[in-house]
């Protein structure tokens, strides 16, 4: 019986309120690193499109590479705008909730 009470006390000591942030290394770190990778990929796509456009203007790249880079940039921007719209829509839905 003493083992159960010490186990319960240990579990209670390790518990944290729902409002406190999760410790490093928990699931939130994976989400943060995933978002950082996504943002980095977005920036790389736009940078690649810009560099290809500059190279095409200088005559160092073919037009086909420019079209591919512009299409990838357009898709990345449309995805970012769609994501932003969904976040704003979710925020507005939360604001409409009764307290």
> Does residue 7 form part of some domain?
no
Per the structure, how many domains does the chain have?
1
Predicted confidence (pLDDT) per residue in 70-99, tens digit = 999 999 999 999 999 999 999 999 999 987
> Does residue 12 form part of some domain?
no
**How many other C-beta atoms are found inside a 10 Å radius of the C-beta of residue 46?**
16
More confident residue, 20 or 2: 20
> Does residue 5 form part of some domain?
no
> Does residue 77 form part of some domain?
yes
Predicted confidence (pLDDT) per residue in 10-65, tens digit = 776 677 666 666 666 555 556 668 888 888 899 999 999 999 999 999 998 888 99
Q: Give the domain extent around 86.
A: 39-99
> Does residue 88 form part of some domain?
yes
> Does residue 59 form part of some domain?
yes
Looking at the predicted structure, is the pLDDT value of residue 1 above 50?
no
> Does residue 4 form part of some domain?
no
> Does residue 63 form part of some domain?
yes
């Amino acid at each position: 019986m003493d083992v159960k009470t010490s186990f319960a006390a240990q579990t209670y000591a390790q518990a944290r309120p729902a409002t406190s942030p999760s410790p490093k290394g928990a699931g939130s770190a994976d989400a943060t690193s995933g978002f950082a990778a996504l943002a980095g990929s977005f920036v790389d796509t736009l940078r690649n499109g810009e560099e290809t456009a500059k190279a095409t203007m200088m005559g160092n790249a073919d037009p086909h590479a420019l079209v591919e880079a512009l299409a990838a940039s357009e898709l990345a921007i449309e995805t970012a705008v769609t994501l932003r719209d969904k976040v704003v829509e979710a925020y507005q839905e939360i604001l409409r909730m009764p307290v």
